[in-house]
Structure 1
C-alpha cells in the first residue's frame, strides 16, 4: 500500500508477473510443455497506470500475446478493477538458457503453445 492507501505501483508488476507465470508455467505444463521452466527473462516492461486501485478492490488480469518472434515474445496485459481498466502493460520476454547464461530461440512446441494467445 502506498501513503495514499492505494495498491503500490510496484505491486502492479507483481500481479502481472503472477498472470504471466500462470500462463508460462501452469498453463504450459497442463499442455505437456515444461521448457519455459528452464528459463525466461524479461528484457523490458512498460506500464501505464490509469487509475488507483484500493486494497479492498478485487482485480483481474487479462493477457494476450502481442508479438511472437524467433527469440522473444511480447505479452500485453490489462489490470481490471471493477468494471474499468486500472492499468495496461507490456512485457518483452526472452527465452533464456540458464545453464549457459544466454538467450535462446523459442522451440516449435513453445511457439505452438503461445500462438492461440496471440491477439
Structure 2
C-alpha cells in the first residue's frame, strides 16, 4: 500500500507473477496428456523478457479480492506473450502484457517452446481480446 492507501504499482507485478505461475505450472501440468509431458511442461524454467502495464484506476486497499484474467496473444518459436486484466466485478484496474521466454537454467540460455507447451498455450490463445496496451 502506498501513502494514499492504494495498492502500490509494484504489487501489480506480483499479482501478474502469481497468475502467470498458476497458468504456466499448475494449469499446464493439469492439461498435459501424459505424466512425462506434465513433468516437462515449462519445467526448465522461464524468464520474463518484457512487462507492460497500463494502470487504469487506483486500487484501494481492501479485503475483497481482485481477479487476474490471463490469456495468450502471441506464440513464437521461443517466446509467448500473455495479456492480463486485473479487475473485480465493478472495474478493470490495470491491463498488462508479459513476454515470457522458456529458459534452460542449468545452461543459462533460452530455449524453444516444446510442442506440448505450444499446444497448451494455443488452448488459451485469443489475439482478438488483446489488452489494448499502447
Q: Is residue 75 from structure 1 mapped to residue 121 from structure 2 by the alignment?
A: no
Match of 2:71 among 64, 77, 84: 64
Unaligned runs of 5+ in 2: 33-37, 127-134
Provide the TM-score with structure 2 as the length reference.
0.85
Rounded Cα–Cα distance in structure 2 between residues aligned with 1:3 and 1:83: 24
Report the Cα offset of residue 42 of structure 1: 0.3
Rounded Cα–Cα distance in structure 2 between residues aligned with 1:13 and 1:77: 11
**Moved runs in structure 1, 4+ residues, more than 3 A?**
none
1:113 alignment counterpart: 120
Report the secondary structure of 1:36's partner residue.
coil
Report the Cα offset of residue 63 of structure 1: 0.8
Q: Is residue 42 from structure 1 mapped to residue 39 from structure 2 by the alignment?
A: no
Paired residue total: 119
Report the secondary structure of 1:90's partner residue.
strand
Structure having the higher strand fraction is: 1
Superposed, which structure 2 residues align to 1:18-37 within 5 Å? 18-32=18-32, 33-34=38-39, 35-37=41-43
